[in-house]
A and B are shown apart, each in its own frame.
Chain A
Amino acid sequence: MWRRLAAIAVTAVLAGACVGPSRTDADYRNKAANAAESMLSAVETARLVVETDARGSSTARYTSLVLSESEDAASSVALSFEVVQPPSRAAVALREQVTGVFDEVTSTLSDLRIAARAGRHAELPALAEPLAGLRRALLDLTRLAPT
């Protein structure tokens, strides 16, 4: 577990370093939108595999692996966004909002991963329920930077 944490941290810091500081609000919103898009990918992957698992269409190991990877991806995105310095007070407010959503995502995915690894597959659909709402919240965030 420690190795995974270390790997996530290193990746996030490097990614954050590559992402670079934000100088304008528009730039910061862009970063938030991109991060939300990546988060959305992790959330949707988790939702899809839980749905597939609930139908009996997945193996225990596969489900565990996918959920674990989704959690890692989400954690890494969250960390690399948090490392970026918000350039203004308005941006700080945005940061609060975004990290609020991201934290919920990572904790939900974490719960899912733990349950799957422990073999408690019957609990997965219930644990995955918050993801629908989180999906909507993330979609709103991606619209911060219309592309």
Chain B
Amino acid sequence: MKKLLGIFLGVFTAIGGFMDIGDLVTDALIGARFGLSLVWVTVVAVVGISAYTEMAARVATITGRPVFDLVRERMGPRIALGNVIVSYFVNAITLVAELCGVALAIELLTDVHYLLWVPPVALLAFLVLWKLPFEHMERMYGLTGLTLFVFVVAVWQLGPDWGQMWHDVVHPTIPGGEGLPTYFFYAVVMLGAQMTPYEVFFFSSGAVEHEWDEGDLGEARWNVFLGYPIGGALAIGIQATAYLVLQPAGIQVEHLSQTVLPVAVAFGKVGIALAVLGIVAATFGSLMETLLSSSYTVAQHFGWPWGKAKAPVEASRFTALTIVTLLLAVGVALTSLNPITITIYAVYLGAATLPFTYVPILVVANDRRYLGEKVNGWFANAFGLVYLVVVSLAALAALPLLLVTKGGL
């Protein structure tokens, strides 16, 4: 029973990471603006991140070391150092977005200005880092994040024309008034939001924090292959509710509150409560994941002792870096730069740097010296290569699209 519970709960770790503030905002924004025409991107993203997280999990369980640790050995210090700097930067911006995201979610509940919530949320994050065991942290927000299923159920409640919906999904069209570059800009944004780099770093390091070994590979795979598709379903749910309620009204999503509006229409007060609870949990979980990922990548590159599970004195530089990163994020958040704008740029930067994250994973997962017999089979490599092409195209197109569409206007 406990083993079953372990798998069941572990699955929702992937959901928590998949439903971060970037996803929550872009899913609603895109549903309101493009209807169901970008659902295919979610499907593509789910398959891609599942394939790569499985590789990272395999590396972690078999070698006992997280992927990023091995990137430096395999690809040399210059490339790895460049990778670390880019990753830290993208993670840090994402962290600011997540921090604001939790604060915005609490504002939804309390109608008290989000900036006032930023310091308390950061303090809570510090306490969770300091005191809460790793597994409890994962399960707490994973389970609570489940309430986001209210979005999926809301689709039913809103009584849609299923035939029409299916048609719109498989026949993506660009709505009148939108250009092709804008459509692809948002496709790249969505891909970046759903294939977030920190997910893989976190899962890979988390596997080592759990001290998983080869025997746990099955459990790790369950986490991946069940968690991400569920996350994808939630993402599509949000897009669908926006398509059903916001798009016909001509509402453009500029605030987190608008994401929740369709659920209010469908389920009233209970719906709002469940949605907001889920959003708070999911964004807080993402906050912890992003925060830890920033420090994981740096510590693992330089060979410092690292780990949330360890006593802080046993990993002092790692701990110091985590605290500094959190404080910097609070500082940036408090400048009251528009958090939605930060979110979109964080997501966008993530998309533009995806190849940095995924190329090393593919390389390491093919190295027999680390994985022995368990290197990628032709199946994993086929997916790996296809997705490498996909994310590289997205990364290359990112800057031109940003310039041409003037940031998605």
Contact = CB atoms under 8 A, between A and B. Distances in A.
Nearest to B273: A59
Nearest to B269: A59
A59 B250 contact: no
A94 B199 CA distance: 51
A38 interface: yes
A40 interface: yes
A111 interface: no
Interface residues of B, number: 28
Contacts of B273: 59
Given A38-B252, A48-B265, A55-B268, A61 B258 contact: no
A65 interface: yes
B268 A58 contact: yes
B250 A41 contact: yes
A95 to B, nearest CB: 22
A73 interface: yes
A19 B245 CA distance: 30
Main secondary structure on B side of the interface with A: helix
B257 A44 contact: no
Contacts of A11: 338
A100 B221 CA distance: 61
Given A52-B264, A66-B258, A41 B108 contact: no
A57 interface: yes
A47 B265 CA distance: 12
B110 interface: yes
B264 A57 contact: yes
Given A38-B252, A40-B250, A44-B250, A49 B109 contact: no
Interface in B108-123: 108-111
24 contacts: A41-B250, A41-B251, A45-B258, A45-B261, A48-B251, A48-B265, A49-B261, A49-B264, A52-B264, A52-B268, A55-B268, A56-B268, A57-B265, A58-B264, A59-B269, A61-B109, A61-B111, A62-B108, A62-B111, A64-B111, A65-B107, A66-B255, A69-B257, A73-B255
* 7 smallest beta-carbon distances between A and B, as pairs: A57-B268, A61-B111, A41-B252, A147-B177, A44-B249, A65-B111, A69-B255
Given A38-B252, A49-B264, 10 more contacts: A11-B338, A41-B251, A41-B252, A45-B251, A52-B265, A56-B269, A59-B269, A61-B110, A61-B111, A69-B257
Interface of A: 7, 11, 37-38, 40-41, 44-45, 47-49, 52, 55-59, 61-62, 64-66, 68-69, 73, 147
